Amino acid sequence: MPAAEACSSVFVAVRGGSKLLYEPEQVSELFDLFGVLSGSCASPQESIALIERKAGQL
């Protein structure tokens, strides 16, 4: 992933629409948020194990 300073725009898709953001402050803020979110995600193996545990509880 490129550094936040190298990004000049961010495309945001949400239910009901999408936006292309150019403001440096918004771009930097969203870049940082994505980094936090991706850093707290479970690995694919951890996700599979969780899904299997939950399915077994049904």
pTM for the whole structure: 0.56
Contact 10, 20 (CB under 8 A): yes
pLDDT value, residue 2: 55
> What are the residues whose beta carbons fall under 8 Å from the beta carbon of 32, sequence distance 6 or more?
4
**Nearest alpha-carbon partner for 24 in 6, 3, 8, 48:** 8
pLDDT value, residue 34: 87
What is the total count of domains within the chain?
A: 1
Domain of 8? 4-56
What token pair was written down for 23? 């403001």
Q: What 3-state class would DSSP assign to 9? A: coil
Model confidence at 39, pLDDT cuts 50, 70, 90, reads: confident
Cβ–Cβ contacts within 10 Å for residue 21, how many?
A: 15
Chain segment 1-30, per-residue pLDDT in tens: 555 556 688 899 989 999 999 998 999 899
pLDDT value, residue 20: 93
